[in-house]
Amino acid sequence: MPHSTGLRGRELIKGHATLNDFLMLVDPSCEVAVSGADIAAVCDRHGGIGADGFVRVVRTTALPGAGAFAAAVPEAEWFMDYYNADGSVAEMCGNATRLFAHVLDSEGLRPIADGESVTIGTRGGARTVTRLGDLWTVDMGAARLTRPRQAQDEGWDTTVVVPGLAGERAALSVEMPNPHTVVALGEENELEAALFAGLTDSAAPVVYDPPPEAGTNLELVVPLGEETDPDTQAPVGIARMRVLERGVGETLSCGTGCCAVAVALHSWTGPGAPEDYRLLVPGGQIGVHVGADPLAEDSTVLLTGPATITGRVTIA
């Protein structure tokens, strides 16, 4: 691993949240000099360890540039310094947030009892994570439409050409706060037919009109109807989806992507839409609560799912 010089001799924790996997560096005082090349090297699935993303677990007060955030949100003792697999900086990640809380608890950095919550810092703002047995619920904050006027008038704001699918597809752009582009498909066989190029593939890329200024995640979703929650008797929307993640390639799950899909489905359905969604991703199932109006100024989207630590490795 010739490019991972900044991580030599360092222990990394490997884990996943619905098979969206991450490498976690516990570095409370921000002592380790990590470059984008270091991150890309360890996240590489052939020459490195392999992961969809990299997270430094650091005290907020120790992270350069986070002084104003630490002063504004003093309860966020820990900060999720998150990077995509190619070493690029990302706003945050819902799945990594669940694993982050799990690591805080398992490493004794911040024990979290069942039913207890912890607030952490991310580049997308403060996030509160609550432990519910083996599951973790993340308060993901409010959703935003990238181009609200067109989206509210027409239900979409972008056209997308996906290799393997015929023609242009209408899409809705949602910020969670990561940028997402959501495309609804009519049949599950279309979901399987889509060809997602990875970071090193030579396959044709997805084409967006207009092109996203800061890149985007792409979510393809097939609505599968509704079921009734046995406890509340409320409707729950069910859907299958796939994700092409910015700076990573196809992933088996994406927390912010699941939130964006639930918001899009709620917006497209209109009055009477379910407030809860069960989303089937290749890595498992994720629950999303959007409430009555996920686009309201004071709204918040809740993401619920598991997190698992799978091992540890020291970089040679």
Give the N- to C-terminal CA distance of the chain in Å, as an integer.
Answer: 8
DSSP state of 92: -
DSSP state of 206: P
Backbone φ, ψ for residue 126 (5° rounding): -70, 145
3-state secondary structure of 299: coil
CA distance 101 to 99: 5
DSSP state of 89: B
Q: Are 233 and 212 within 8 A, CB to CB? A: no
3-state secondary structure of 238: strand
> 287 is written with which tokens?
């629950």
Q: Are 89 and 123 within 8 A, CB to CB? A: yes
Active site residues: 93, 254
The residue behind tokens 């396959």 is 203
Please, what sign has the CA dihedral across residues 15, 125, 241, 306? positive
Q: Which helix (H) or strand (E) holds 226?
A: strand 217-228
The residue behind tokens 């697999």 is 85
Q: Are 9 and 34 within 8 A, CB to CB? A: no
> 144 is written with which tokens?
């935003």
